[in-house]
């Protein structure tokens, strides 16, 4: 059974930074891709970043490229999302997700239906 637990959300002023963590029971299993999504009130769930394995492919959505950085610490079974230069539009519930296999190519990794396992989410508010 795959378990994902997010933490690190909170309130921050525009221009500030936060680092989200996702403790993943499959964190040391390099066969899984791990991804970050977010969902703002009244909007669809949006894919932000995906990373596969130890040194596999890494993908970013255009909306967060050059501001957000995904990383994985296999020893700690944890994935991180470093978020810099935050904007009010970044306010949302942030989720981590896992899927057996690599990140889908092109923009297909952003499709939330591709992921079988989800965390409970952590709120980020930027004002």
Please give the mean pLDDT across all residues of the chain.
94
110-124: average pLDDT: 96
User: Per-residue pLDDT averaged across 2-20, rounded?
Assistant: 97
Whole-number Å distance between alpha carbons of 126 and 113:
27
Span 25-37, pLDDT tens digits: 877 788 899 999 9
Q: Compute CA 30 distance to the chain's CA centroid, rounded to the nearest angstrom.
A: 17
Q: Give the per-residue pLDDT at 89.
A: 96
Measured between alpha carbons, how far is residue 80 from residues 9, 67, 106, 111, 127 in Å?
12, 14, 22, 20, 22
């Amino acid at each position: 059974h795959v378990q994902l637990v997010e933490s690190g959300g909170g309130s921050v002023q525009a221009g500030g930074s936060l680092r989200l963590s996702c403790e993943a029971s499959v964190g040391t299993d390099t066969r899984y891709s791990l991804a970050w999504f977010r969902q703002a009130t009244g909007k669809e769930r949006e894919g932000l970043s995906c990373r596969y394995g130890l040194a596999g492919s890494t993908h970013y959505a255009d909306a967060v490229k050059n501001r957000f950085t995904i990383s994985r610490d296999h020893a700690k079974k944890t994935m991180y999302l470093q978020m810099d230069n935050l904007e009010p539009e970044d306010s949302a519930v942030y989720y981590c997700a896992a899927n057996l296999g690599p990140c889908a190519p092109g923009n297909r990794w952003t499709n939330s239906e591709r992921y079988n396992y989800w965390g409970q989410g952590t709120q980020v508010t930027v004002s």
